[in-house]
Amino acid sequence: MDLTVKNLSNKQLLKRASNIYFISGFSTTVDVSAKAKAFLEAYRAKYNEEPSTFSALAYDSVYLVANAAKGAKNSGENQGQPY
């Protein structure tokens, strides 16, 4: 049985996606760092709504990749080597 996403209907996906839990420390209602506050203000100004957990994760991911790339001599520096 092929269970790839392209072979499942939306109804099947929803059924299989039940009882899944995702824990995140992200909140828009508590005191946050200056960087998080800047993100919240910019997001609210642009989209006129509260950012979702996934918006915050995407924001963090971009900075994670950017910081990881800093100092690399070229894009193939670690090619073929474990991280």
Output the DSSP codes for 25-80: ---SSS---HHHHHHHHHHHHHHSSPPPHHHHHHHHHHHHHHHHHTT-SSTTTTTT
- pTM of full prediction above 0.75: no
Q: Does residue 8 carry a pLDDT above 90?
A: no
User: What pLDDT, in 10s, does the model give residues 62-83?
Assistant: 988 888 888 777 766 556 665 5
- Whether the CB-CB separation of 73 and 65 falls below 8 Å is answered with no
User: What pLDDT, in 10s, does the model give residues 15-53?
Assistant: 766 666 666 677 788 888 898 899 999 999 999 999 988
Q: Does residue 1 carry a pLDDT above 50?
A: no
Query: Which pLDDT score, from 0 to 100, does residue 66 have?
Result: 86
- Whether the CB-CB separation of 39 and 53 falls below 8 Å is answered with no
